[in-house]
């Protein structure tokens, strides 16, 4: 259950960042084809990028001392 929640959180963060960039920068531009590609690629990226593991970005919890 924990990997599914982690995947969903990462997917939401990626899609939120890409949608935020679209709303701030690309929304009122006349590049309709690019905007369409951006929105479709943001959907694909939010599904694929959370599956990629990067070793140098692992989180380690500090050891517990009794």
List pLDDT tens digits, range 16-65: 998 898 888 888 878 888 888 888 888 888 989 888 876 766 666 677 77
The answer to the question of residue 19 being in a domain is yes
**How many domains does the structure of the chain reveal?**
1
Contact 22, 38 (CB under 8 A): yes
pLDDT of amino acid 11: 92
The answer to the question of residue 35 being in a domain is yes
Residue span of the structural domain in which 18 resides: 2-50
pLDDT of amino acid 23: 86
Instruction: Take residue 64 and report the two structure tokens written for it.
Output: 């517990």
Reading phi first (left if > 0) and then psi (alpha if -120 to 50, else beta), residue 60 is in beta
pTM over 0.95: no
- How far does CA 4 lie from the centroid of its chain? 15
């Amino acid at each position: 259950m924990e990997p599914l929640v982690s995947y969903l959180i990462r997917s939401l963060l990626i899609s939120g960042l890409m949608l935020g960039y679209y709303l701030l920068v690309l929304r009122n531009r006349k590049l309709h084809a690019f905007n369409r590609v951006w929105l479709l690629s943001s959907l694909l990226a939010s599904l694929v990028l959370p599956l990629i593991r990067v070793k140098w970005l692992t989180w380690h919890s500090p050891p517990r001392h009794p």
